[in-house]
Structure 1
Amino acid sequence: MDRGRSRTVAKLPSRAARPRQREDPMFIRRNPLPPIAVCWDQDGLMLAQLDPYAVRDQAGPVPPDNGQCAPRRLRALARRPLPNTRQDDVNTTEMAQAVRALVEQHVPGACRALLCLGPTELFVYTVRMPVMPAEELGQAVRWEARERLPYPLEEAELRHVPTTTVRVDGEIRQETIVLACHHDVLARSIRIAERAGLEPVAVDVQASAVLRCVPPAPCTDSVLDDGGEAAAQGSSAGIDRPPLNIVVHVGPSCSTVAAGAQGRLAFLKYVRVGAEDIDTAVARAVELSPADARRIRLSVMQQATPDLGNEVHRSILDAVNTRLEALAAEIQLCLQHLKVTYRGHPWPTLWLSGHEATHWTAHFLSLRLGVPVTLLDPFEAVAPPAGAAVDAVPVRGVWTAVCGLALHPLADPAPATSRAREPRSAPLLQETR
């Protein structure tokens, strides 16, 4: 080797200065995109996916000690109308084709999926059991479920969520939410995803997804369950209690009343009043088809001050109010239960989401219930992708469930130090790999 000859060696840029090529397949394999959230109901099919590389722009930084985090941003968000194909297994292929078409159009190359189950697919009830170890509680819940389920226990996928302790006839009881899904219903949802070319990684509960979109309250070291001390003493004085987040999510055929605190599911009940019931009542009042009645009534209900002097507007609102009265009565019962069970837990407002998250509905419920009612905007929790037609639907609350599902812990790649305390309110009915 000639030591006297000078050599020119190309200097490589430092590792930090090297540009990262996201198009590189090797980079994609090392850093897979989050699974897509896929939701469907009688009204349509929706999907969403988090963008792991972007955080929503803010006017200023979020203080690090308030328990909140900067809202995430979605990489994809889409929706398409869908006929009611959940009646039998004959239309499973049709559903799968619709899912595949929506995925290929908006998230090409996606392979993993998050699914969720709504009120029409779950059987939910609350039971108060004697305080016992977790292993014994699970066995007791299964034994008790044999008398409560509308189908054999052997045909059910069963989960239970302990919430808090209460005093019943002088004894401390463990209040527990029980969720059951028939094997055939769960298998059908998974089969639709698989036929669409997706790999389901988890099946969530819609109520848990909706609660993730509620603006987080400052985190404290207090917990929901104080071991029964407050219940035994009949007082919550001196105990720092976290605020309850209470959400009313109105779906097409059923409404969900859910409550949670610090990411823990605290209450869940389904009310058989939905958007379709309101559409039917308005259609009868104005002699229109349900579809036309919905379009007209939403334009009226979205107004901050509807024209009550207009005879058509007044007829529509009178018909709407008859169904909202029934909904308000059920919500009132839920609030009474929460006030007694979670004595000392503040809840500053009632959040309204779903197909009926309109100014008129919020105003009506606030007057009937005597509490503040606030519209829940899912895009305050996760920003939509640039150019997304989020207002293509008349009510933004329709997006809440799919946005919350996209924030599932399996999808959000943010480290625990940069986001709010991790929600534990999502009992996975099925998890696959």
Structure 2
Amino acid sequence: MPSSLYLVLLLLGLHVTTYCASPIISEGKVTTCRYPQPNVTLYKMSSNNADFAFNLYRRFTVEIPNQNIFFSPVSISAALVMLSFGASSSTQTQVLESLGFNLTVTPVAEIQQGFQYIICSLNFPKKELKLHMGNVLFIGKQLKPLAKFLDDVNNLYETEVLSTDFSNISAAKQEINSHVEKQTKGKVVNLIQDLKPRTIMVLVNYICFTAQWANPFDPSKTEEGSSFFLDKTTTVQVPMMHQMDQYYHLVDTDLNCTVVQMDFSEKALALFVLPIKNNMEWVERSMSSKTLKKWNRLLQKGWVDLFVPKVSISGTYDLGVTLMKMGIQDAFTDHADFPGLTEDSGLKLSKAAHKAVLNIGEEGTEGVPVPEERSLDQSEMTHLHHIIQFNRPFILLILEKTTRSILFLGKIVDPMQAA
């Protein structure tokens, strides 16, 4: 058995007030992703991607019970599909099947084309929504990557490939951390704390997202010392935003939860899910792509007196053990098979890490003007029956509308837990 060469997979997700600009550069050339047309596979994929997101979420609830959870499902999925591009045999099969795909029904090429569309669509410039997802592959100078792999990951997955000297672990770590810090405008620093000897490739995936609410909150109505109930006996004081407006919302009597949709100004939305007391686990076990479709069908617009806490949380995860439990096993062992990536043998994953950051405030992003308060006539006042207070643990989803992708998924157990 040849000696192992280690590939480290790191993934980031950011929802921050920052400008995330980065054309993809490979060997000094700026490239443009080929933008395919959406096909039937894309729409089927949205269900697969959602179910993978909820399955991974449920794994986290077991591994870190009663804690905040926050991650970027689409970021993790896209990086794994990109990695599968260089894999074959059971290594490739395990990666794609763990994402929920039946390869006898959906060919590998269709899956890869679908993710190509997702990445291109997410990165397509938008006026009031700053969204960019990208990959950076740091590859050892001595490695001989296949030209087809470099071309494909550049054009299909917007992956920047940088030659790196891993013989000096300290210098390589500094180079990677500096690059990540630059790409995220200083929001993620010291991402890599250590590298194994004989590491020769590190894949970093990041997603930056900044958007303003379609209807920003008025900061003057935020109550700084409002009670948030962590459990039956424990509360913390949080800044609670308040707004009376028309929102799409529903009460799901099957899951015993309330759902409120808050729109961003362009092509994205947030779903706030509030289970009734002591019903969080039932909602978590039941959520699926079918749940999202049901909610989309049943949401109705009406007046809501809404209370939402300001939130600043993050999630950091070592995904290796979790992904292995979900079926991606060979990639982390000496059975790993990546013949489409490099001429060198013995390549396997040594680490898969993920970090996501979330900040929610009155405006969604800095510098967004708050609309003037308007008076309500008597006919409108008669419909103001819904008071919805997110003053206990709730689930949060942030979705992009065009691709139906879950950009971020999480649970806020304690809004004051340090990000």
TM-score, structure 2 normalization: 0.23
Q: Which has the higher contact order (CA 8 A, sep 6+)?
A: 2
Higher gyration radius (CA): 1
